[in-house]
Structure 1
Amino acid sequence: MSRFWKIALIVVAVIVVGAVGFRLLRKPATEDGAQGQQSGQKQGQDGKGQDTPVPVTVEPVVKQDVPVYLTALGTVQALNTVTINPQVSGQMLSINFKEGQEVKKGDLLAQIDPRTFQAAYDQASAKQEQDEAQLSTAQSTLKRNDALVAKGYVAQLDMDTFRNNVANLTATVAADRAAVRSAKVNLDYTRIISPIDGVAGIRNVDPGNVVTTTTSVVTLTQIHPIYVTFSLPEQNLDMVRKAAGVGDALEVLALDRADAHTIAGDGQLNVIDNQIDTTTGTFKLRSIFQNTTGDLWPGQFVNVRLKVRTVNGGLVIPAQSVQRGPDGDYVYLVQQDQTVKMQAVKVAGEVGDSHVMIGAGLALADKVVTEGQFRLKPGSKVKALKPGEVPTAPTAAEVDKAKKRAQQGGGGRRG
């Protein structure tokens, strides 16, 4: 083979190798370009999606008078608690109440065998009548002889004896009357009477038992009205004392342990204790409730709200509009161009079960998002729905996206 053909074969081989290499290198670049184009289209679609308004429920900031409450855990206590003990000893004939029954002052609770005490009363009465008869005779004798002294028929010494006899019998009759009253009291004590209006507890004796003055028959608790005691931190003392010194008694509410509903709302502050507990740094207060329906029960734990003042013209928004982020509380504030921004707020207190009062961060008539916040981020366009309307249900993808965004940003709904 000549030198010319050798050179030609080498050139052809180089061209073939170059063509193959070029094709291999060009294919990935083409695929990357296609993927880049698809990604760009997707981004374009996402950008277009961001321009689509997000339907959310919006409510304006309103102004209203807001009561300010101090809250505490309270204990219900009976107005009066009386343990019924017999005042005389004897056999219990009957129990005249049912356990758990409401009794009135003066109601018969139990009856002790009265026969012994009736006999003692009758004996004392007879003794009184006997001594009264003797006194009457002595008085008549004194009167007759007094008329004969002037005529000299009766000696003065005898008259002194007559007078002393009358005085002695008068004292005896007085003692008899006292003995009758004592016997009557003991006889009356055989009827055990309720000293208060209250609820009867579980009885401790049965008919037929012999009871003494140390025997506990039953305990009565007065629940109409009823007390609720609670404690507050000592830094609230001046506020409470100043509020209590102005106008009517302070209003007190009693709520269940979950703060879900009001048990009694007619309470009034009754007493502020005269000292601070140095071990806990708190002071004790007592409120009184009429408790006409019996919803409050002795020993019950309740949440107490003490109204100390009213803020006139407070700014109020729904509680569900407030979110909690890593930097504190915030709301989504709707701006003039119908986009939203995260607005930091300071919550000054609760207003009922569904609203809060804002101390800073918002102005009257500002509009905040109350439903649909999980779809939003700063700058999102929104479609405002009327109060009471609910945005359309989110898709599963939107929910997952909102969860990821909350996890990454550390934010979430206000608890």
Structure 2
Amino acid sequence: MKKQTLIIVIISMIALAALSWIINFKEKRNLVELLTEKPSFGSLSKTVTATGTLQPVDTVAIGAQVSGTIKNIFVDFNSVVKKGQLLAELDPVLFLAQEHQIEANLQQAKANFAYQAANYNRQQQLYNAGAISKAEIETATYQYRAAQDNVNSILSQLRAAQKSLSFTRIYSPIDGTVLTRNISVGQTVAASFNTPTLFSIANDLTHMQVRASVDEADIGMVQKGQRVKFTVDAYPDEIFYGTVEEIRLEPSVTANVVTYTTIIEADNANLKLKPGMTANIDIVTQEQDNVLLIPQIATQFVPGMSLSKQFMIRPLMPGAHQQRSANNKSGMKAGNHFSMISNQARVWVKKGDTLVQKQIITGLSNDVQEAVIKGLSPDDLVVTSINANKGPGKASTEERSPFIPTRSSRNGR
């Protein structure tokens, strides 16, 4: 009899232990894990994205002012040239022949002028002595002056021929680098109707310019002097920096999309950036340094019914909220706190087994992080979401506790 009683007691103890273990296991399975994050200090910026093309700050097209055949070329692509350096030469034979012909005509004109001058002097003496008529001295005077004008005219022709001869030698007008060479030895250059481009020279490749196309929806936020970050496909892991230099007022319309050309100056001391590269641009339009940051999803979190079984939930007191609203209205009337009113939000802070709702004032946002101007400290544990891999797996932010006030829109938060 005692033996049976002992067996019953042992079985009862085992059953109670099993029941206790099952209850504890079930409670642990039903526990919900919250993902939290402490606010941290950092920098936040808002940017406008665009694409653009790299080009030299100043490019000069070198042409020919006379027609002829290319005799010599002294530079090539990527050649570094100095101002006044000889780049190419046209065949000067025809221009030399023309110069020699005009020089011969000039010698004849000078000889004729000398003869007419001597004749004029003789005729003047005879006229003074009364040996010839006035008509004869006037004829001598006319011939003398015509000979003098002829000499001056041929001198002008000679200077023009010499200038044309000098145009057969093409010199660089600036210091720079040859970007393009459009001619070859033996090629005929015709400058009759327009000036042909022989070379393109970039003034200084250590300073580059990005010609960016900014959408009309974003151009209002772009201003001269703003900081710019950009990358190029040749160096995808390297960030280059520049400054907005100019916003051109002439719009460009492509497929009903209006863009404005924005000029960005960039340093290129290491010559990594090359003309024609495509730049992926971020123009920093707003920036805040050393501000408290939280994930933006924290402002969207609302605890559901399942959390009320595990945590004590303390929403904002209605009286405090009304007081804040009254203060906000007075601030709106005064016109001093409009930015603070439009940037209110609410977050939940975990303190042990308690969730406390706090109202905060936010600043700049980049759709991932949000700057907190007032309402939180770096020691707060801000709830961002529920860990979907823990707990019963059915907790949702859509499930609301009936005593938690609903969250207003983004601007009213």
Secondary structure at the aligned position of 2:101 is classed as: helix
Once the two structures are superposed, residues 100-149 of structure 1 have per-residue CA deviations (whole angstroms, 9 ceiling, x without a partner) of: 12333432111223233223223323322432342244234324433442
One-letter amino acid of the counterpart of residue 289, structure 1: E
**Structure 1 partner of 2:295:** 322
C-alpha contact (below 8 Å) 2:109/2:150 kept by paired residues = yes
Confirm whether residue 228 of structure 1 aligns to residue 181 of structure 2.
no
TM-score by length of 2: 0.61
Q: Using the alignment, how far apart are the partners of 2:72 and 2:272 within structure 1?
A: 31
C-alpha contact (below 8 Å) 2:251/2:261 kept by paired residues = no
Secondary structure at the aligned position of 2:190 is classed as: coil
Matches within 5 A, 1:28-67: 33-40=16-23, 60-61=40-41
One-letter amino acid of the counterpart of residue 139, structure 1: A
Secondary structure at the aligned position of 1:201 is classed as: strand
**Structure 2 partner of 1:282:** 258
One-letter amino acid of the counterpart of residue 302, structure 1: A
For the structure 1 residues 119 and 236, does the alpha-carbon distance in structure 2 shift closer, same or farther, using more than 3 Å as the test? same
Once the two structures are superposed, residues 296-332 of structure 1 have per-residue CA deviations (whole angstroms, 9 ceiling, x without a partner) of: 4332222334455666x88343xxx626489489999
| Residue number among 343, 352, 364 corresponding to 1:348 in the alignment | 364
Confirm whether residue 100 of structure 1 aligns to residue 78 of structure 2.
yes
Secondary structure at the aligned position of 2:78 is classed as: coil
* Unpaired stretches in structure 1, ≥5 consecutive residues: 1-18, 379-400
Q: How many residues align?
A: 338
Secondary structure at the aligned position of 2:181 is classed as: coil
C-alpha contact (below 8 Å) 1:99/1:200 kept by paired residues = yes
One-letter amino acid of the counterpart of residue 185, structure 1: K
**Structure 1 partner of 2:231:** 256
For the structure 1 residues 140 and 181, does the alpha-carbon distance in structure 2 shift closer, same or farther, using more than 3 Å as the test? same
Q: Using the alignment, how far apart are the partners of 2:190 and 2:251 within structure 1?
A: 38
Secondary structure at the aligned position of 2:274 is classed as: coil
C-alpha contact (below 8 Å) 1:104/1:197 kept by paired residues = yes
Once the two structures are superposed, residues 175-229 of structure 1 have per-residue CA deviations (whole angstroms, 9 ceiling, x without a partner) of: 212221222122112212224444323534443x242226764443445554322
For the structure 1 residues 256 and 28, does the alpha-carbon distance in structure 2 shift closer, same or farther, using more than 3 Å as the test? farther
C-alpha contact (below 8 Å) 1:253/1:304 kept by paired residues = yes
Q: Using the alignment, how far apart are the partners of 1:409 and 1:301 within structure 2?
A: 47
**Structure 2 partner of 1:358:** 371
Rg: which structure is higher?
A: 1
Secondary structure at the aligned position of 1:138 is classed as: helix
One-letter amino acid of the counterpart of residue 106, structure 2: Q
| Residue number among 278, 281, 294 corresponding to 1:304 in the alignment | 281
Confirm whether residue 121 of structure 1 aligns to residue 99 of structure 2.
yes
Q: Using the alignment, how far apart are the partners of 1:179 and 1:409 within structure 2?
A: 98
| Residue number among 146, 157, 166 corresponding to 1:168 in the alignment | 146
Q: Using the alignment, how far apart are the partners of 1:204 and 1:306 within structure 2?
A: 37
**Structure 2 partner of 1:10:** none
C-alpha contact (below 8 Å) 2:299/2:346 kept by paired residues = no
For the structure 1 residues 342 and 279, does the alpha-carbon distance in structure 2 shift closer, same or farther, using more than 3 Å as the test? farther
Q: Using the alignment, how far apart are the partners of 1:42 and 1:257 within structure 2?
A: 56
**Structure 2 partner of 1:381:** none
- Displacement of 1:58: 5.0
Secondary structure at the aligned position of 1:116 is classed as: helix
For the structure 1 residues 200 and 34, does the alpha-carbon distance in structure 2 shift closer, same or farther, using more than 3 Å as the test? same
Q: Using the alignment, how far apart are the partners of 1:358 and 1:341 within structure 2?
A: 20
Q: Using the alignment, how far apart are the partners of 1:157 and 1:283 within structure 2?
A: 80
- Displacement of 1:284: 0.9
C-alpha contact (below 8 Å) 2:70/2:88 kept by paired residues = yes
For the structure 1 residues 290 and 315, does the alpha-carbon distance in structure 2 shift closer, same or farther, using more than 3 Å as the test? closer
C-alpha contact (below 8 Å) 2:210/2:265 kept by paired residues = yes
**Structure 1 partner of 2:248:** 272
| Farther-moved stretch of structure 1 (37-46 vs 88-97) | 37-46
C-alpha contact (below 8 Å) 1:273/1:283 kept by paired residues = no
For the structure 1 residues 147 and 30, does the alpha-carbon distance in structure 2 shift closer, same or farther, using more than 3 Å as the test? farther
- Displacement of 1:256: 0.5
For the structure 1 residues 109 and 137, does the alpha-carbon distance in structure 2 shift closer, same or farther, using more than 3 Å as the test? same
Q: Using the alignment, how far apart are the partners of 2:395 and 2:156 within structure 1?
A: 90
For the structure 1 residues 100 and 169, does the alpha-carbon distance in structure 2 shift closer, same or farther, using more than 3 Å as the test? same
**Structure 2 partner of 1:72:** 50
C-alpha contact (below 8 Å) 2:95/2:164 kept by paired residues = yes
Could you say what the CA RMSD is over the residues aligned between the two structures, in angstroms? 5.0
| Farther-moved stretch of structure 1 (342-351 vs 124-133) | 342-351
C-alpha contact (below 8 Å) 1:199/1:220 kept by paired residues = yes
**Structure 2 partner of 1:183:** 161
TM-score by length of 1: 0.61
